[in-house]
Structure 1
Amino acid sequence: MTITPEQKTPRTGACVTSVAAVFDPVFARLEQWADLVERYAARPGTVADRAELDSLVEELVRREFADPVGCVIGAGFVSAPGFLGWHLAWWLGGQNAASPRLPANGIRHLETLEDPLDENFRDYTALEWWRVPAQTGRRHITGPYVDYLCTDEYTLTLTLPVYRGGNELIGVVGIDLSVDEIERDLVPLLGADAVAVTVINASGRVVVSTDTHLATGALLRLPGLTKLLADPASTDGAVGLHGAHTFQWCGRTELAVVAGPAAVLAPS
């Protein structure tokens, strides 16, 4: 996944367009995957099979690793325990730091403990990338966080719930994106003048920023910011914050852009 520059101005609206150009296509692909898995699960008179579903998912995700300079480092489907048991049909590839010895086909399956009786088993349904879309029924971005399970680097995980019959949750489809790769492509589009432009998640954590003092994962603190983040439906356009800052949601990405003077950091 690469970004084609359209505007390199620090204006909030142009920056929002650049951010949406990165994330909206990823969610569009996840929606296609969810539809295919839903159709597979809805076949009459058949029982879902792990190997068969893994083959379907692998064919989908393989395309995501074809771009040698892309941001995708992991992708797949994670089953609800009541569908295929505790099972991850998840692959690593591309620039994934956790895959230094990829097989000839360029990707590898993520091996995890799937026995809930094992003392090292981890209940993934308690993790944010599963829990939030399962509760809301909507797309979600988790991170940035250091993914010690898959990538060992700052990661954004985009997930979407998958249903059978419209109401039975059978799992989530997802894609891991490298924050380093996103930063490489996105920061030049956010502008490089005296106005700092920062992309934050719904919790106010920095994803990327043109302000070199703002590290990925740091918490951005500005008067009025918490209130705006608490209500994504509060505004569709740019609004003023304290001082010379402006704030704007980036469409349906669950990310927002803050532009203005160098910001203040809260303790981590």
Structure 2
Amino acid sequence: MNELADRARSIIEEVFASLEEIRESVVTCYRSSAGFCTADLAGVRPEIFRCLGRAPETLAGAGMIVAPGVLADRPRWLEWWQAPDPTFLDVDLDPGSLDFYDYTAAEWFAVPERTRHRHIVGPYVDYGGTDTYMLTLTAPVEDGPRFLGVVGADVRAARFEALLLAELTACPTEVALVNAEGRVVVANSPRHPAGSLLHEAGERLPGLPWALVSARQAAGASANP
């Protein structure tokens, strides 16, 4: 099971490494601009496109989500591009609209803003985009004390599981990776599909907000009143 944890961590770290390149590009554009605006974000797109191009089957989208008040010409903005083309994601950012997308309330934005640390959300059903299970990885973007927003990427949960197939198959017992809410990220049993709840305690994985639950641990938890 150590191989499963190591492989999962490796995949996640590769995505965060790409996000770090986008973050550095955002900070460079911000510092070189006299009045940071949406046009300046064109300078970040090459890094976003490179991120998507490295793993077009794994990543559904990537980009920069700007904190309110940072841009000179827009109160809010998503510089978000979807794979594989890539295609710009156009969302309603008008607070007066019924379809207003308040991304500041989303966990993937609010947690990095509060903690100034990277974060992983999911798996969850992306009803607003692909209607499939996703993992969203985000990291804060800062210039000194100023919070500029977050960089992020959507990882297809099914593809993430496929990348772990060899390690999942090699486990001698049923095993699952679960998030802090107890939702299954990946498992080697059809009894525990992605997104289902598995409340048994497991072994926390260093560097990831997940735990590894084995059949033995689950059985032990069930045996104790």
Common fold by TM > 0.5: yes
Q: 2:131, 2:125 → 1: CA distance? A: 6
- CA displacement, residues 10-38 of structure 1 (integer Å, 9 cap, x when unaligned): xx322211111110111122122212212
Q: Deviations over 1:74-124 (max 9, x none)?
A: 000011111122110000113xxxxxxxxxxx2110011122222321211
The answer as to 2:99 corresponding to 1:120 is yes
Q: CA contact under 8 A between 1:19 and 1:186: conserved in structure 2?
A: yes
1:110 matches 2:89: yes
State which of 19, 33, 39 in structure 2 corresponds to 1:30: 19
- Which residue matches 1:167? 145
Q: CA RMSD in A?
A: 2.2
Q: Which residue does the alignment assign to 2:192?
A: 214
| Between structures 1 and 2, the one with greater helix share | 2
Q: Please tell me the residue identity of whatever aligns with 2:148.
A: I
SS in 1 for 2:2: helix
The one-letter code sitting in structure 2 at the alignment partner of 1:153 is: T
In structure 2, the residue corresponding to 1:60 is in which secondary structure?
A: helix
Q: How far, CA to CA, are the matches of 2:56 and 2:36 in structure 1?
A: 35
CA contact (8 A) 2:91 2:101 kept: no
> Against the structure 1 CA distance between its residues 65 and 39, is the aligned structure 2 distance closer, same or farther, given a 3 Å change threshold?
closer
Q: 5+ unaligned residues in a row in structure 1: which ranges?
A: 1-11, 95-105, 226-245
Q: How many residues align?
A: 218
**SS of the residue aligned with 2:148?**
strand
What is the CA–CA distance in structure 1 between the aligned matches of 2:25 and 2:55, rounded to whole Å?
A: 26
- Conservation of the 8 A alpha-carbon contact between 1:191 and 1:197: no
CA contact (8 A) 2:138 2:151 kept: yes
Work out the CA distance in 2 between the residues paired with 1:76 and 1:93: 11
Show CA shifts across 1:105-155 (max 9, x none): x21100111222223212110111101111111000011001112221000
Query: Could you say which residue in structure 2 is the equivalent of 1:254?
Result: 209
Q: Which residue of 1 aligns with 2:80?
A: 90
Q: 2:116 aligns to what?
A: 137
Q: Measured at CA, do residues 43 and 123 of structure 1 come closer, stay the same or move farther in structure 2, by a change above 3 Å?
A: same
Correspondence for 1:187: 165
Among residues 48, 51, 63, which one is paired with 1:61 in the alignment? 48
Amino acid at match of 1:66: G
Distance 2:134 2:20 in 1: 20
Aligned residue for 2:36? 48
Higher relative contact order (CA 8 A, sep 6+): 1
Unmatched 5+ stretches in structure 2 = 220-225
Q: Provide the C-alpha distance between the structure 2 equivalents of 1:158 and 1:93, rounded to a whole number of angstroms.
A: 16
Query: How far, CA to CA, are the matches of 2:56 and 2:15 in structure 1?
Result: 15
In the TM superposition, residue 157 of structure 1 has moved relative to its aligned partner by: 0.3
Identity of aligned residues (%): 35
CA distance in 2, matches of 1:143, 1:27: 16
CA distance in 2, matches of 1:82, 1:70: 34
Report if aligned partners of 1:16, 1:256 keep a CA contact under 8 Å in 2: no
CA apart distance, 1:40: 1.7
Per-residue deviation, 1:39 = 2.2
Q: Which runs of 4+ in 1 moved over 6 A?
A: none
2:223 aligned partner: none
